């Protein structure tokens, strides 16, 4: 005599729906899907820009010219000593007062680019400096000029060393792109906020957001582990 | 004429900003208190997790490993929102400040845990075997043999982690903790000169973080010299 089984099931279903309502998530899935790609392209854009800025500022940092080296040093140190959120607000509120009006997405990508660019510069520099001096001396005595030394001796080795930490920085960049939601860009974290404010369901909203970030994280992490193994094999 | 007007406004705003410096210092104090509290708590918890994770208990190791991965794989902003909006649903009502401290402590504990595990695993196993052969208990092995040597590897990235913690603490301004970033955000509504306001915010962070970065770098250099001498 356990009572009506259908009623019992109803009660169970109700408990499940009250704690974590899958129906709402399914309803909002198209929004999350769109935002997932928004996060991907925002951080992809930031990553491409960061690589460019990183290579540029690293070559400035290591150059003979004192002015270029100091300028790159000031840029890198000031970025590394301040939080991304402050940098983001700096551009978001600062550019309009200089008379420059950009769409939010452009401001966001700009901040991500400049922020990650400084870290990329340090990663590339560590890679270049990990190459023993003997290699460079050997290249010089073989009569290779600066460009040839860079192209054939230094960069191929330095890039190999730099790829795992660069992937690590890419993971950081994807997570940092969550801050863009604070300047009202619609991406994954914003999707969580939208669900929370429309349906007043923070658990569904933010846990779903977290799951999407974890998907990106695990893909990048697997890739990073794989590249690390491969590079060690090649080194040995 | 228009240009002059703008220059005038700039002077006016600058004066306004100078007047609100006490407000910024209050925010700075909040940032320091927040990161200081989480730093101490995060170090204690992180070392405990790290020692467990480098130890023998398989189940605990897995649980901590999975938790660390979850935290490392999600943005801190999302974690802050979860602590602030979802814990109340589970019956834990939190003000913004304790929620921020909990989220920050958890985050730094996870990263410190990884640093500690790396440091402990870098100690050659012969050291432990020798200690076992000398009849030291596992507590004494850890206390007198493993940790003192591991500290040399742990310390430089630990200081680097503190810098990250201070910078990450800016994110909790999103749930209304009035730290320096939040003060900047509030001020910029009144003084619409973003460059000036957030320039000041940046300088305040720089003053705290830059010496720590230098300390971490110099420690790293000193420690490597010691290890290569060995």
Instruction: For residue B25, tell me if it sits in a domain.
Output: no
The pLDDT-based confidence of B37 (bands split at 50, 70, 90) is: very high
Cβ-based neighbours of B147, under 8 Å, separated by 6 or more: B120
**Which residues of chain A lie closer than 8 angstroms to B77, CB-CB?**
178-179, 181-182, 189
pLDDT of residue A236: 36
Rounded to an integer, what distance in angstroms lies between the CA atom of residue A80 and that of residue A83? Answer: 8
How much is the average pLDDT of B57-64? 90
**Number of folded domains in chain B?**
1
Q: Which one, of B170, B189, B196, B199, lies nearest residue B27 by Cα?
A: B170
Instruction: For residue B13, tell me if it sits in a domain.
Output: no
Contact criterion met (CB below 8 Å) for A43 and A174: yes
Instruction: For residue B11, tell me if it sits in a domain.
Output: no
Instruction: For residue B47, tell me if it sits in a domain.
Output: yes
Instruction: For residue B17, tell me if it sits in a domain.
Output: no
How much is the average pLDDT of B190-218? 90
How do the domains of chain A map onto residue ranges? 36-235
Closest CA–CA distance from residue B127 to any residue of chain A (Å): 26
**Closest in A94, A96, A171 to B198, CB measured:** A94
What 3-state class would DSSP assign to B134?
coil
Give, in words, the CATH class of A36-235: mainly alpha
Task: Work out the percent of chain B whose per-residue pLDDT is above 90.
Answer: 51
Closest CA–CA distance from residue B207 to any residue of chain A (Å): 8
The pLDDT-based confidence of B55 (bands split at 50, 70, 90) is: confident
pLDDT in tens, A129-166: 888 888 888 988 999 888 888 888 888 888 788 888 99
Determine the structural domain holding residue B130 and report its residue range.
33-229
Is B76 an interface residue toward A (CB < 8 Å)? yes
ipTM, 2 dp: 0.87
- Check CB contact under 8 Å for B209 and A82: yes
pLDDT at B14 over 90: no
pLDDT < 50: residue spans in chain A: 1, 233, 235-236
pLDDT in tens, B97-146: 999 999 999 999 999 999 999 999 888 888 888 888 888 888 888 888 88
Query: Mutate which of A206, A220, A223 to test chain B, going by most B C-beta atoms within 10 A?
Result: A206
Instruction: For residue B163, tell me if it sits in a domain.
Output: yes
Q: What value, to the nearest 5°, has the Cα angle with vertex B92 and ends B91 and B93?
A: 105
- Which helix H or strand E contains B113, and what residues bound it? helix B96-121
pLDDT of residue A2: 52
B45: domain CATH number? 1.10.3720.10
Higher per-residue pLDDT: A149 or B37: B37
Instruction: For residue B24, tell me if it sits in a domain.
Output: no
Is A179 an interface residue toward B (CB < 8 Å)? yes
């Amino acid at each position: 005599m356990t009572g009506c089984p259908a009623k019992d099931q109803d009660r169970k279903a109700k408990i499940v729906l009250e704690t974590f309502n899958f129906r709402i998530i399914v309803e909002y899935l198209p929004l999350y899907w769109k935002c997932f790609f928004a996060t991907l392209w925002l951080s992809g854009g930031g990553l491409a820009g960061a690589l460019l800025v990183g290579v540029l500022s690293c070559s400035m940092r290591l150059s003979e010219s004192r002015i270029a080296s100091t300028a790159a040093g000031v840029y890198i140190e000031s970025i590394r000593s301040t939080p991304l959120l402050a940098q983001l607000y700096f551009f978001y509120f600062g550019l309009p007062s200089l008379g420059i009006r950009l769409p939010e997405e452009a401001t966001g990508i700009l901040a991500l680019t400049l922020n990650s660019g400084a870290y990329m510069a340090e990663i590339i520099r560590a890679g270049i400096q990990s190459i023993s001096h003997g290699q460079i001396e050997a290249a010089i005595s073989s009569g290779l000029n600066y460009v040839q030394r860079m192209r054939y001796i230094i960069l191929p080795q330095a890039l190999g060393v730099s790829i795992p930490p660069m992937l690590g920085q890419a993971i950081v960049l994807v997570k940092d792109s969550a801050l863009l939601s604070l300047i009202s860009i619609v991406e994954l974290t914003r999707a969580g906020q939208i669900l929370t404010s429309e349906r007043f369901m923070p658990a569904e909203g933010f846990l779903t957001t977290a799951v999407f970030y974890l998907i990106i994280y695990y893909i990048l992490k697997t890739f990073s582990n794989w590249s690390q193994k491969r590079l060690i094999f090649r080194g040995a | 004429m228009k240009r002059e007007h703008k220059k005038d406004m700039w002077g006016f705003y600058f004066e306004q900003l100078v007047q609100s410096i006490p407000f910024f210092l209050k925010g700075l104090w909040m940032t320091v208190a927040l990161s200081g509290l989480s730093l101490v708590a995060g170090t204690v918890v992180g070392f405990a997790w790290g020692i467990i994770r480098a130890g023998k208990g398989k189940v605990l190791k897995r649980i901590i490993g999975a938790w660390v991965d979850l935290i490392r794989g999600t943005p801190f902003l999302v974690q802050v929102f979860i602590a602030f909006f979802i814990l109340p649903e589970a019956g834990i009502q939190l003000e913004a400040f304790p929620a921020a401290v909990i989220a920050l402590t958890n985050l730094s504990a996870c990263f410190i845990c990884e640093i500690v595990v790396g440091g402990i695993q870098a100690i050659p196993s012969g050291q432990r075997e020798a200690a076992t052969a000398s009849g030291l208990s596992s507590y004494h092995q850890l206390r007198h043999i493993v940790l003192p040597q591991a500290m040399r590897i742990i310390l430089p990235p630990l200081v680097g982690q503190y810098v990250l913690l201070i910078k990450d603490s800016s994110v909790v301004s999103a749930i209304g903790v009035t730290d320096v970033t939040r003060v900047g955000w509030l001020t910029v509504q009144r003084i619409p000169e973003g460059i000036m306001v957030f320039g000041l915010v940046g300088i305040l962070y720089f003053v705290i973080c830059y010496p720590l970065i230098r300390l971490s770098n110099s420690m790293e250099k000193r420690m490597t010299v010691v290890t290569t001498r060995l």
